[in-house]
Amino acid sequence: MIEVRNLKKIYNGITVVDVPALQINKGESVGLVGNNGAGKTTLFRMVLDLIRAESGEILSNGEVVAGHEKWKDYTAAYLDEGFLIDYLTPEEYFYFIGGLHNLNKAHVDEVLTSLTDFFNGEILKKGKYIRDLSKGNQCKVGVAACLLQEPELLMLDEPFANIDPSTQFRLKNLLKDLNKNKGVTTIVSSHDLNHITDVCDRILLMEKGVIIKDIATSSSTLNELEAYFGVMSPSEEKGI
């Protein structure tokens, strides 16, 4: 699904991402972990062709991502609030995104109804613009907009960070369901090791731009990760 070759990104002389080779297969669920500044978001942005790599390339379904638009047909992503059009109401935003994928309103409504639990009554018909929602609720809007696009590849950057425990739980189930039953390839980053080992079959551990570990999740993975992060000085150790 995704193939990375010799990818490098340098800011002010500091290499922030350096991935010589990475292959993510269709149907995998990949978790990306690493401390702040490890290069997770930068990697995400490069996969989405938002920033230009210094060298190397990323292929999505065999086609180079940079400068092409075909990947947009099957890729949905939510990295931060910058992905939302914040002066729209959530409904308007959903219909807009649906419209881009030629979904009519009825179809969009149907998908939204299926997300009633996930929204927990805080998104629809509240009479608020997206900018007036809390960060957690904005995250729900972003995730829902991704699901609406029925993607083959779903990318979320720290989706668990701002949402309440119930929503975290529901989001985990959603992600598992998408991956196991609908074959969606998911790439999720998180600082919560419990969540990420729960949801993902494969964990990539990044440090200073380099993927230093690539592990298939097993019962010992959580311990292995905790051991890694525990080595760091206590101030850098952050659960969430």
Partner 1 sequence: MITTFLGHELKAFWRSKNTGKSIAIRVVMALLILYLFACILFAGLFLDKILEESFPNDDVVISFCGIILLYFLFDLIMRMQLQELPTLRVQPYLHLPVKRNTVVSYLAFTAMLSVFNLWPIILFIPFVLKVILTDSGALPALAFVLAILGFMLFNNYLALFIKRKANLNGWVFLVFIATLGLIITGDFRFHLYSVHNISYLYFGHLLSKPVLVLLPIILAVAMYYINFAYLKQNLYLEELSSRKASAYKSSTEFPLLNRFGKVGDLVANELKLIFRNKRPRSALVMGLFFMFYGLIFYTNSHYGQTWYIFVGMFMTGIFIINYGQFMYSWQAAHFDGLLVSKINFRDFLKAKYLLFTMVSTVAFILTTPYAYFGWHIVLVHFVMYLWNIGVNTTIVLFFANRNAKSINLSKGASFNWEGVGATQMLISFPLMLTPYIIYLPFSLFKHADMGLAMLAAIGIIFVLTRDFWVKKLEEDFMQKRYTIAEGFRNK
Helix (H) or strand (E) holding 8: strand 2-11
Residue closer to partner 1 (CB basis): 155 or 225: 155
Based on the shown chain and the rule CB under 8 A, indicate whether residue 111 belongs to the binding site for partner 1: no
Nearest distance from C-beta of residue 155 to partner 1, angstroms: 9
Residue closer to partner 1 (CB basis): 99 or 230: 99
Based on the shown chain and the rule CB under 8 A, indicate whether residue 99 belongs to the binding site for partner 1: yes
Based on the shown chain and the rule CB under 8 A, indicate whether residue 137 belongs to the binding site for partner 1: no
29, β-bridge pairs: 186
Listing DSSP states for 87-131 in one string gives TS-HHHHHHHHHHHTT--HHHHHHHHHHTHHHHTTSSTTS---GG
224/227 Cα distance (integer angstroms): 5
Binding mask 68-87 toward partner 1 (x if CB under 8 A, else -) reads -x--xx-x-x-xx-xxxxxx
Nearest distance from C-beta of residue 52 to partner 1, angstroms: 4
Based on the shown chain and the rule CB under 8 A, indicate whether residue 88 belongs to the binding site for partner 1: yes
213/161 Cα distance (integer angstroms): 23
Among 62, 121, 127, 239, binds partner 1 (CB under 8 A): 127
Based on the shown chain and the rule CB under 8 A, indicate whether residue 92 belongs to the binding site for partner 1: yes
178/44 Cα distance (integer angstroms): 20
Judged by CB under 8 A, the chain residues 1 through 30 that form the site for partner 1 are: none
Residue closer to partner 1 (CB basis): 41 or 217: 41
The number of beta carbons lying within 10 Å of the beta carbon of residue 68 is 12
16/28 Cα distance (integer angstroms): 25
Among 149, 167, 197, 217, binds partner 1 (CB under 8 A): 149
Based on the shown chain and the rule CB under 8 A, indicate whether residue 89 belongs to the binding site for partner 1: yes
Among 35, 59, 109, 129, binds partner 1 (CB under 8 A): 129
Residue closer to partner 1 (CB basis): 34 or 90: 90
204/31 Cα distance (integer angstroms): 6
Nearest distance from C-beta of residue 113 to partner 1, angstroms: 17
| Helix spans in 101-220 (H) | 105-114, 116-119, 135-148, 165-182, 193-199
239/230 Cα distance (integer angstroms): 11
70/155 Cα distance (integer angstroms): 16
Nearest distance from C-beta of residue 38 to partner 1, angstroms: 19
Catalog residues that contact partner 1 under the rule CB under 8 A: 45, 48-52, 67, 69, 72-73, 75, 77, 79-80, 82-89, 91-92, 96-97, 99-101, 127-129, 132, 149
